[in-house]
């Protein structure tokens, strides 16, 4: 069975500092990896995805994520955090070739950016 772990319930960072939100996964076959963001009282919004190719994926709002196959990780990063980045972030994995085409989501990480 495929699974996703987001080891941090909350990440605190000062505005202007770099941020990292961690995600590790377990899946059979090649993973498809996603990051979504959820602002208060809103649905989830797609940020970026990794399917194949370059391990560094760039997405919306200046976010990027790096696929690391050996560490089975897909950490979300941003060089300089903004207060407006404060939200709930979800990592998800699917594996159409060897697992399930239905994405499995992590529990979410609350990112708080302090002014």
Partner 1 sequence: GAGVSQSPSNKVTEKGKDVELRCDPISGHTALYWYRQSLGQGLEFLIYFQGNSAPDKSGLPSDRFSAERTGGSVSTLTIQRTQQEDSAVYLCASSSPTSGVETQYFGPGTRLLVL
Q: Name the site residues for partner 1 (rule: CB under 8 A).
A: 32, 34, 36, 41-46, 49, 51, 90, 94, 96, 101-108
69 or 107, CB closer to partner 1? 107
Considering beta carbons, is residue 15 or 110 the nearer one to partner 1? 110
CB of 81 to partner 1, least distance (A): 23
Least CB distance to partner 1 at residue 115 (A): 26
Which CB atom, from 61 or from 80, has the smaller least distance to partner 1?
A: 61
DSSP 47-102: EEEE-SS-SEEE-GGG-EEEEETTTTEEEEEESS--GGG-EEEEEEEE-TTTS-SS
């Amino acid at each position: 069975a495929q699974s996703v772990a987001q080891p941090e319930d909350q990440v605190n960072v000062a505005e202007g500092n770099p941020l990292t939100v961690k995600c590790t996964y377990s899946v059979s076959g090649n993973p498809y990896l996603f990051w979504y963001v959820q602002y208060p009282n809103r649905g989830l919004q797609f940020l970026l995805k990794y399917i194949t190719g370059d391990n560094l994926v760039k997405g919306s709002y200046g976010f990027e994520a790096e696929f690391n196959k050996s560490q089975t990780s897909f950490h979300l990063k941003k060089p300089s955090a903004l207060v407006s980045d404060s939200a709930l972030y979800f990592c998800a994995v699917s594996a159409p070739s060897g697992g399930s085409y239905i994405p499995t989501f992590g529990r979410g990480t609350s990112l708080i950016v302090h002014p």
